[in-house]
Amino acid sequence: MSALQQLRTMTTIVADTGDLAAIERLKPMDATTNPSLITKALVHPDNQAMLSDTMNHYQGDVDAVIDALTIQVGCNILELIEGRVSTEVDARLSYDTQATISKALEFMEAYQRADIDSERVLIKMAATWQGIEAARYLETQGIHCNLTLLFGQHQAIACADAGVTLISPFVGRILDWQKHQQGRQEIAAADDLGVQSVKLIYQYYKQHGYKTQVMGASFRSIEQILALAGCDLLTIAPNLIDELAALDIPVSRQISLKMAKNATPMSRVSLDKDAFSQAYQQDKITQDLLPKGIDGFIGARDELAQTLAAMRN
């Protein structure tokens, strides 16, 4: 079996793309998107008719058009996969709990109108305190959430306490930060802070029986991916999925429920808003990467808005 086939026996593979052709070819169980991926999907020549129709329907209201197109791409993806799609709330709402809740409810109503089972949708938002609190409420309403832009253990702990369905620790962005801080070009998987972060979160969750799933994300290499073989889910870009499919090497499980339970016991922690804020202030990686990630998602949405505005004119 290829490395990809072996990996599939121990981990759910998620396609990190909004490219429908890639999803149809790769046949992942789940798919996840973010604004930059949505932008790439919507500027594809095959989608120009859909873009034009949606622009006309909403009379050029760019925010309404982006929301409608996001749902449409989500529906299109769900036609090609058996599992779930993650649909991201506007990153401009990352520090507004109530606005995030309202937008999530709008998205779920839109999926319902499209006859999509709510179990097949994850609402994705940044793992700020406000985003986590929004997810806490949404989960009580049967709306499953994927907390993204997760870089620190304190974020993971708060997400588990809030009962969120899924978290997405950003492995590659942590590695990028580590390389910059340490002035290194190459870092082995054994020393990779991004890989270590996911392993630590996974261990903590499994030791304390949390149902929240861990989905490693933002990979830079197949070495990072294989170092997390056995994680609940891994969301992987198409080019890296193709590399794994072409690789003929044995793949061994690196993390498991049994390994986590046999590891050094970790104390269970609960964080209120003040404790979360204090932990954030002590976590240089999250301080650097979380705001930057939110700004990046906002920028991607702005880029799409500009594209749509140009079409309208």
- Residue 299 sits in a domain whose CATH number is 3.20.20.70
Q: Is residue 43 part of a domain?
A: yes
Residue 176: how many other CB atoms lie within 10 Å: 15
Asked whether residue 313 is assigned to any structural domain, the reply reads: no
Catalytic (active site) residue 40: no
Assigned token pair, 88? 């991201």
Q: What is the pTM of this model?
A: 0.94
Instruction: Say if 215 falls within a structural domain.
Output: yes
In a domain, 279, yes or no: yes
Task: Give me the domain span that covers residue 37.
Answer: 3-308
User: Would 286 be classed as within a structural domain?
Assistant: yes
Share of the chain above pLDDT 70, in %: 97
Is 155:147 a contact under the CB 8 Å cutoff?
yes
Strand partners, 88: 124
- Number of independent structural domains in the chain: 1
Helix (H, G, I), strand (E, B) or coil at 277: helix
Find the catalytic residue in 27, 40, 124, 273. Answer: 124
Asked if the structure places residue 271 within a domain, the reply is yes
- How remote is the C-alpha of 117 from its chain's centroid? 20
- Reported residue count of the chain is 313
> Can you read off the two tokens belonging to residue 243?
């590399």
What is the DSSP secondary structure assignment for residue 19, as one 8-state letter? -
> Shortest CA distance to 222 belongs to which of 185, 192, 260, 182?
192
Alpha-carbon gap, residue 218 to 14, rounded angstroms: 12
Structure tokens at 249: 């090497």
Residue with token string 């998205």:
107
205 within some domain: yes
Q: Where are the beta strands (DSSP E) in 113-272?
A: 121-126, 145-150, 166-169, 213-216, 233-236
Domain assignment present for 161: yes
Residue range 167-220, pLDDT digits in tens: 999 999 999 999 999 999 999 999 999 999 999 999 999 999 999 999 999 999
Please give the structure tokens belonging to residue 106: 């709008």
Q: Is 80 exceeded by the pLDDT of residue 143? A: yes
pLDDT in tens, 103-130: 999 999 999 999 999 999 999 999 999 9
